[in-house]
Chains A and B, each alone.
Chain A
Amino acid sequence: MDPIVACRGLSKTFGKGELAVHALRDVDLDIMPGDIATLAGPSGSGKTTLLNMIGALDEPTSGEVSVDGQPLGGLSRSRLSELRLSKIGFVFQSYNLIPVLSARENIEFVLQLQGVSTGERRNRALEALKEVGLAGMEDRRPGKMSGGQQQRVAVARALVSRPSIVLADEPTANLDTRNALELVDLMRNLNREHGTTFLIGTHDVRVMEHSMRHIEMVDGRIDSDARGSA
């Protein structure tokens, strides 16, 4: 089976000379379809940088990233946008919903960018909301929702375009325990039921406990990569 994500010799250096910061050092990593992997490590270990590289949000200093068999190196900004739109779903720490759009519209927005027809957009958005347990809240704007609810909308948005992988960066960092556990359950269920691949950058033990693969990063390197039983 081919990996969804393949990183080879990935390095990222910010700044130059004495001020250079080596955020990633020669990272090799494969994420397989159906994985629900957590990427852990102390602050500055390179988790977010690695997620950004895999998510085509930033370019490596050296090395190569491929997503679903597509090498990212050399792609134009426009092509990278298309790739993110079609193959990658994002869930960020601070919910990052568009405040002027309702829950349904936030989810539909990605489908609009993909050029999906109005009717199909609506149906898929409502279905995604139902799947994350927010049926009936489709017309609420982010400002009228709790943090947990907003993060569920973000998950629904990430999933609705049927991406190859969902990248989640500290998705539970701003949630209380109940909401954090609900979100973890949600991701795990989606993984089980739809085979959705998740790569989750986190400090949160509650998330790590439920992952099937745990990758530990230290100083820009992968320190350990272990598969669990979750």
Chain B
Amino acid sequence: MIDGFKTMLPLAWRNLWRNPRRTGITLIVVAIGLWSILFFNAFMIAWAESSKETTLRLLLGSGQIHAEGYMDDPSVEALMNPPDQDLASALDAPAVADWTTRVVVPGVVQSEYKTLPATIVGVDPMAEARISSIPGKIAEGRYLNSGDDDSVVLGLHMVERLKTGLGRRVILMSQNAEGAMSEQSFDVVGIYDADKATEDLYVFTGRAASQKFLGLEGEIAQVVFVLKEEMALEDAVAALADAAPALDVRSWKDLNLFLASMDSYMGVFIQIWLGIVFALMAIGIVNTQLMAVFERTQEFGLLRALGMKPGRVLLMVAIENALLIGVGVLLGMVLAAVTIWSVSDGIDFSAFARAMEMVQTGEIIYLDYEPDAFILFPGLIWLLGMLVALWPAGRAAKCRPVEAMRRET
């Protein structure tokens, strides 16, 4: 077998270049096909990662802990006490990068012109800055100073709709701990710039200030935590659930099902893309190799007449295909590596900032090499290419010398 391979290799290589144009076209088809798979795989992973990071960093965190029932009716009646010693210890575990508590209740915000529904979020600004990207998105004014800060930070779009602005006052209203409506006037000290949905929904004030406003005695609505490693998510959630069996501990995958689906289906999308590209490549490979075999029918007859066994003819054509697809795969890998390297500083989508906001993705997408993809996809393309090319190779091997040489007198 090895001897046969050594015999066939140089011949197969030269045969490839008999028709440089056809070989070139096949190489380009394979190379571009693989390039598109590797590049779009890297792009889609980066896009999904950016989208996930943006969403998690906004308010969601890696996960949240609530009182039982809060997720079904997120009102002041379903709040909980701050973490006890067991839960605090679990939240201080090495896997957890940071955590904080929030008061989150539904309410309304009213300006002198308009009243809008809102979610009032009481935060500890220092801890919040480590967990959420909102404090870094202040477009005008400032973020909150402390948990006692009884001013508010509104979203840019909400400010426009309320026809209010920095330095003006708005009234927040919500049901308080006693079941009555509380209302209080707050100074607008900051305006944040995020996506419209977030801007229209969330109003931020100090956590202690919100507890005072709602008549709470230290109760909170949620603990939000961020993990150091995404890989540790399931274990971390399980550990926290063990530490707080009476509470509802959920990962971001349970809190944002759309985001979780996007994360799961990204792999399926890549597979579909791989299938489409491969189908196109297979048509190209089979077509060109069949043409090559038909053109050389007489020669295969000669080789068989000279004593070459059918298996060796098959081997020779298979080696030609292996070289052809192999070179195409190498070109595709180099092309993809160069493309990804050339955009390693990130692809800037700031020109489409609003659109990127809508899909909750960062304005700059950072592509990275996926070592597994650079092994898996080229290997798969090479293997599948070899398999489809066995058809023309089999035809060559099956030829009968007399018929192939067409020499009847």
Tell me the A residues contacting B by CB distance below 8 Å. 43-45, 47-49, 52, 55, 57-58, 77-78, 81-86, 90, 92-93, 96, 98-101, 109-110, 112-115, 157, 169-170, 201
At the interface, yes or no: B409 with Cβ under 8 Å from chain A?
Answer: yes
Flag if A48 contacts B407 (CB, 8 Å).
yes
Q: Which residue of A lies closest to B16 (CB)?
A: A100
At the interface, yes or no: B49 with Cβ under 8 Å from chain A?
Answer: no
A169 to B406, CA, bound (A): 13
Q: A57-B402, A110-B306, A113-B7 are in contact. Are A92 and B407 (CB under 8 A)?
A: yes
Interface centre among A81, A92, A115 (most CB of B within 10 A): A81
Partner-binding segment picked from B99-107, B178-186, B210-218, B297-305 = B297-305
**Chain B 5-29: CB-based contact to A (< 8 A → 1; otherwise 0):** 0010001001101100000000000
Interface centre among B302, B307, B401, B407 (most CB of A within 10 A): B307
Q: A57-B402, A99-B18 are in contact. Are A81 and B309 (CB under 8 A)?
A: yes
Knowing that A78-B309, A92-B302, A112-B7 touch, tell me 16 more A-B residue pairs with CB under 8 angstroms: A49-B408, A57-B305, A58-B400, A58-B402, A77-B309, A81-B304, A81-B308, A81-B310, A93-B407, A96-B405, A100-B11, A100-B15, A100-B17, A110-B306, A113-B306, A157-B306
| Contact for B11 among A57, A77, A101, A157, CB less than 8 A | A101
A108 to B307, CA, bound (A): 13
Q: Which residue of B lies closest to A53 (CB)?
A: B402
Tell me the B residues contacting A by CB distance below 8 Å. 3, 7, 11, 14-15, 17-18, 298-299, 302-312, 400-402, 405, 407-409
Residues of B within 8 A of A52 (CB): 402, 407
Flag if B409 contacts A82 (CB, 8 Å).
no
Tell me the interface secondary structure of chain B in the complex.
Answer: helix
A174 to B306, CA, bound (A): 21
Residues of A within 8 A of B306 (CB): 84-85, 90, 109-110, 113, 157
Closest CB in chain B relative to A215 CB, distance in Å: 14
Interface centre among B3, B304, B311, B408 (most CB of A within 10 A): B408
Flag if B14 contacts A101 (CB, 8 Å).
yes
Q: Which residue of B lies closest to A42 (CB)?
A: B409
Interface centre among B11, B303, B306 (most CB of A within 10 A): B306
| Contact for B307 among A43, A44, A48, A113, CB less than 8 A | A113
Residues of B within 8 A of A99 (CB): 18
How many contacts between A and B, using CB within 8 angstroms? 76
Flag if B11 contacts A90 (CB, 8 Å).
no
Q: Which residue of B lies closest to A112 (CB)?
A: B7
16 contacts between A and B (CB under 8 A): A43-B409, A52-B402, A57-B305, A57-B402, A78-B310, A81-B304, A85-B308, A90-B305, A93-B407, A96-B405, A98-B303, A109-B11, A109-B306, A112-B7, A114-B307, A169-B407
Residues of A within 8 A of B312 (CB): 113
Flag if B401 contacts A57 (CB, 8 Å).
yes
A77 to B397, CA, bound (A): 11
Residues of B within 8 A of A85 (CB): 306-308
A100 to B312, CA, bound (A): 18
Q: Which residue of B lies closest to A55 (CB)?
A: B305
A43 to B407, CA, bound (A): 12
Residues of A within 8 A of B303 (CB): 98
Q: A47-B409, A170-B409 are in contact. Are A82 and B309 (CB under 8 A)?
A: yes
Residues of B within 8 A of A100 (CB): 11, 14-15, 17-18
Residues of A within 8 A of B7 (CB): 112-113
Residues of B within 8 A of A82 (CB): 307, 309
A98 to B18, CA, bound (A): 11
Closest CB in chain B relative to A52 CB, distance in Å: 5
Interface centre among B7, B299, B305, B409 (most CB of A within 10 A): B409
Q: Which residue of A lies closest to B14 (CB)?
A: A100
Q: Which residue of B lies closest to A83 (CB)?
A: B307
Residues of A within 8 A of B409 (CB): 43-45, 47-49, 169-170, 201
Q: Which residue of B lies closest to A161 (CB)?
A: B307
Closest CB in chain B relative to A141 CB, distance in Å: 10
A-B complex: 6 closest residue pairs judged by Cβ atoms: A85-B307, A100-B14, A48-B409, A84-B307, A81-B309, A112-B7
A43 to B401, CA, bound (A): 21
A83 to B306, CA, bound (A): 10
